Amino acid sequence: MGKEGNEWVVTRTGRAPSNIAVIKYWGKRDEKLILPINSSISVTLDPAHLSATTTVSASPAFESDRLWLNGKEVSMEGVRYKNCLREMRARATDMVDERTGVTIRKQDWANVHVHIASENNFPTAAGLASSAAGFACLVFTLAQLFGVKETYEGELSAIARLGSGSACRSLYGGFVKWNMGQDVDGKDSIATQLAEHTHWDDLVIIIAVVSSQQKETSSTAGMQESVRTSPLLHFRAQEVVPQRIKQMEEAVKTCDFEEFAKLTCADSNQFHATCLDTSPPIFYLNDTSRRLIGLVERWNRFAGKPQVAYTFDAGPNAVMFARDQEVAVLLLQRLLFQFPPLPDVELSSYVVGDQSVLKSAQ
């Protein structure tokens, strides 16, 4: 192992963005492999404000794998962490660390433990896809440390998927599709980039943080209940989403905001309808979320065509899309007027996330 004894530590740091689905993933056909019942499409968010940063260190002196999330140690017994680590270790290659001069052979990685520290720069588990950024970042940073190269395109996204379904989409910038795939082993259930962030740079994303509290029902538990009890969810996955995926791909390709907005709002509303259709019903939206929906609906009706879209994941926070800067400024003014005083709603505006966000530092 190059250097003598247990003295060495090798470290890598990476950053990965969060993403927001505009055609939602809700429901698994395989819980263990995290295979979805429908494909989904997302927009990668601005990593400067919405990302996870993870540092992974490896040393023969470490006695076990350990994990700290936002400064607090959490258990690594969870099967999702174990699955990601196992898959990444299995793909580790010989690695020479230039900074320390340490050489680690492929076969030695199996006996070297890792310490992982991850931080989000936004509220955790408040419906802003913190697990997506977290697992994408973990897999990306481990790939740097272990010297993992993809043997097929999307391989890393398939591993991130084992951590959290939506995480597979955070490995790409811009507009991203998660193909549900057909394989039983999940090899083809991967993310692919539909378009880079520069493809549609008029678009402005406005996030209204309505609450930074942890949600009551996690996405994982919520979608399990929906799969078990909601007839609407199965209708949605089979009859509605396949068509919407095609329409959304086309809207992104042609930068057709009206179509993008119609599909985005409709899909968010149908997702929340399936939550209500679940027994017992799940409520992710609150009164403030519903007021925001009302505001956007009235705005678009008044404008005569969609200028703004909204979408909500498993939480009350709104992600809004304005067709351009001009609309975004007017919208922000309106929001500030209608939702004073802060911190009732905390507003920020962003651009579509960049692909180069997957940064690593030695």
Least CB distance from residue 165 to ligand DP6, whole Å?
3
Give the Å distances, CA to CA, from 337 to 80, 293, 295, 314, 330.
43, 16, 12, 26, 11
> In this structure, what token pair is assigned to residue 10?
């090798």
Least CB distance from residue 20 to ligand DP6, whole Å?
7
Q: Which is nearer to ligand DP6, 268 or 307 (CB)?
A: 268
What residues numbered 112-141 form the site for ligand DP6, per CB under 6 A? Answer: 129, 131
The kind and range of the H/E element at 85 are helix 79-90
Segment interacting with ligand DP6, rule: CB under 6 A, options 24-32, 47-55, 287-295, 322-330 = 24-32
Segment interacting with ligand DP6, rule: CB under 6 A, options 17-25, 102-110, 257-265, 290-298 = 17-25
Buried b or exposed e, range 352-362, using 16+ CB within 10 angstroms: bbbbebbeeee
Three-state DSSP at 88 gives helix
Number of residues in the chain? 362
Q: Which is nearer to ligand DP6, 34 or 308 (CB)?
A: 34
Least CB distance from residue 77 to ligand DP6, whole Å?
17
Least CB distance from residue 114 to ligand DP6, whole Å?
21
Please provide the distance, in angstroms rounded to a whole number, between the alpha carbons at the two ends of the chain. 19
270 lies in the binding site for ligand DP6 (CB under 6 A): no
Asked if residue 284 lies in contact with residue 315, where contact means CB atoms within 8 angstroms, the answer is: yes
Phi, psi of 269 (to 5 degrees): -65, -40
Using CA atoms, how far apart are residues 171 and 257, in angstroms rounded to an integer?
Answer: 25
Q: How many DSSP H helices and E strands does the chain contain?
A: 9, 18
DSSP 8-state symbol, 236: I
Q: Which is nearer to ligand DP6, 165 or 316 (CB)?
A: 165
Q: Which is nearer to ligand DP6, 104 or 282 (CB)?
A: 282
What residues numbered 312-341 form the site for ligand DP6, per CB under 6 A? Answer: 313-314
What residues numbered 208-237 form the site for ligand DP6, per CB under 6 A? Answer: 219-220
268 lies in the binding site for ligand DP6 (CB under 6 A): no
Least CB distance from residue 129 to ligand DP6, whole Å?
6
In the complex, which residues of this chain contact ligand DP6 (CB under 6 A)? 21, 24-26, 34, 40, 129, 131, 164-166, 219-220, 313-314
